[in-house]
Amino acid sequence: MIKLKNICCIGAGYVGGPTMAVFADKCPHLKINVVDINEDRIKAWNSQKLDDLPVFEPGLDLIIKKCRNKNLYFSTNIEEKIKNADIIFISVNTPTKEKGIGAGKVSDLKWVEASARQVAKFASGHTIVVEKSTLPVKTAEVIKTILEAAQSSPDNESKASFDVLSNPEFLAEGSAIKDLVKPDRVLIGGENKEAINALSEIYKNWVPSEKILHTNIWSSELAKLTANAFLAQRVSSINSISAICEATGADVREVSRAIGSDSRIGSKFLDSGPGFGGSCFKKDILNLVYLCQYFGLPEVAKFWEEVVRLNEWHQHRISKLIVKKLFGTISGKKIAILGFAFKANTNDTRESAAITICKDLIEEGAFLAIHDPKVDPAQIKKDLCIEESVENDLKTLKDIPISDGAWFFSDEIKNTLIGADAAVILTEWDIYKKINWIEMSKIMRRPSWVFDARSTLLLTEQFKEAGLNYWRIGDGS
Ligand code: NAD
Ligand code: UGA
């Protein structure tokens, strides 16, 4: 039986960091090293100030405090940590390829390949290599080929042997610790039973055996893409229904409740919002689409492609609707954006609906005051590809051509809303649910609007009293 003592995780990102933190917490007998080429990220993971950790996840800081430098280490010394490991998780980024063959669809595997080459070069003894990143079907073959080729290369001094397993991660951001501690299932795909059992033993420290599923490696890789495709499809489905609700007088929340009570459908992932974001849904569906095309299944490709297309349409639908309600023009108007993260409880903005909607509104000439309790303004600048304006310049419109939109970051809700013609709720942060709109209506410019793209507010009476116009996603009543 293979006994594992030393773990190395390549990639200290949203998956590698929290996953290894939970491994360390649940397996004090294991030594866990998380390595990354990004020095700043590793520095942040080692920061004494827990507020400076590079990933915000409820509960993560406490685990880091407990395990860091006891059995959990963050380092840039990739060579040494790979050499000492009996099992290596590859948890690097796999974004959509930007150019070349398959651009815009297929995952860029250059970071995975680089990791496999590092492992091939530095590993010693028998090493289990685990795909933690989400990968297209058959990537394990690529990793295996690289590892085996390196062993037969004359200049390779390392005398290692390998097993490759697929162990995709199903955590969702914002609830990562909860998902890792109590997963619905753990999926392990591979050929060698001994290696599969060795990895299962790690999970058995806290996950019941019946929740640990063993499959062949290709099923495991495909199951991950399929899970994300199904979840995203549900969001696009309910968002498409929200548009019909608005047109017909129905209320999407009532429709969700009615269909979600059917145990065959289930109630989760039926909240209509501004469109799904996050680093994975779009990327993984496009990957699936590419695979379908590659394997000569254009009808299947088209089916899944529509999920992404609907999502994009839906995001633009919200921007258009805002312009329409504000008399067809938002040029020179101040619009408060409440929430920039792609969902609550995370500082991640990747593919956030807020990016598309804010870009649309700026394009129409609006001045956006953007608030988010966790997102850094530098990140917003990167996402919008527009420099931040100074708030005072906006007030006086100094230096800003009247037809150009602009944005500034506001770290206080009240300040965000002063003089605003509209507030747009794009992330379902709890703090937005507590806003006193009667008070806020006094500082906004009338006629003022609140666009609730997350259906977070249930204060219809308060809006009436405040004299605010209120629009809620999917509410045709
Ligand atoms: P991320 O971008 O946050 O982190 C990846 C890290 O890998 C980066 O810090 C990068 O510097 C590092 N890296 C890249 N190449 C490296 C190399 N050769 N050596 C050392 N470090 C290297 O990405 P993430 O969000 O953690 O996602 C990682 C994978 O997990 C992706 O395939 C993603 O699809 C999948 N996934 C993500 C989530 C999520 O919620 N973010 C959930 C499940 C699965
Ligand atoms: C998603 C999956 O839920 C995870 O299982 C998976 O591991 C992960 O992708 C991944 O592979 O990266 P995540 O993107 O972190 O997790 O967050 P979700 O909770 O799935 O939300 C995704 C997007 O859909 C968010 O923008 C969210 O606001 C939106 N959403 C979700 C809705 O609009 N309505 C819903 O009912 C649910």
For 329-345, write each residue's pLDDT tens digit.
999 999 999 999 999 99
87 CB neighbour count, 10 Å cutoff: 24
Q: How far is the CA of 117 from the centre of ligand 2 (A)?
A: 32
Going by pLDDT thresholds of 50, 70 and 90, the confidence category of residue 391 is low
**Four-point Cα dihedral 54, 56, 58, 64, nearest 10:** 0
Helix axes 139-152, 110-122, angle to 10 degrees: 30
pTM summary value? 0.95
Q: How far is the CA of 49 from the centre of ligand 1 (A)?
A: 23
**Four-point Cα dihedral 253, 258, 261, 266, nearest 10:** -60
Q: Among the atoms of ligand 1, which is closest to the Cα of residue 38? A: 11
For 32-56, write each residue's pLDDT tens digit.
999 999 999 999 999 999 999 999 9
181 CB neighbour count, 10 Å cutoff: 14
Residue 395: per-residue pLDDT: 55
Phi-psi region for residue 144, left (φ > 0), alpha (ψ -120 to 50) or beta? alpha
Q: Tell the residue number behind the tokens 């933690």, with chain if given.
A: 132
Residue 254: per-residue pLDDT: 97
Share of the chain above pLDDT 90, in %: 88
The number of the ligand nearest the C-alpha atom of 35 reads 1
Going by pLDDT thresholds of 50, 70 and 90, the confidence category of residue 150 is confident
For 189-234, write each residue's pLDDT tens digit.
999 999 999 999 999 999 999 999 999 999 999 999 999 999 999 9
C-alpha 248/C-alpha 371 separation (Å) is: 33
For 245-281, write each residue's pLDDT tens digit.
999 999 999 999 999 999 999 999 999 999 999 999 9
Q: Among the atoms of ligand 1, which is closest to the Cα of residue 284? A: 34
| Average pLDDT of the chain to the nearest whole number | 94
Pocket mutation for ligand 1, best pick of 9, 19, 36, 288 (most atoms within 8 Å of C-beta):
36
More confident residue, 291 or 156: 291
Q: How far is the CA of 26 from the centre of ligand 1 (A)?
A: 22
168 CB neighbour count, 10 Å cutoff: 23
Pocket mutation for ligand 1, best pick of 46, 76, 81, 93 (most atoms within 8 Å of C-beta):
93
Question: Residues 451-477: what's their mean pLDDT?
Answer: 90
**Four-point Cα dihedral 370, 374, 378, 384, nearest 10:** -50
For 361-380, write each residue's pLDDT tens digit.
999 999 999 999 999 999 99
Catalytic machinery residues: 280
For 394-449, write each residue's pLDDT tens digit.
555 555 555 679 999 999 999 999 999 999 999 999 999 999 999 999 999 999 99
Widest CA span in the chain? 80
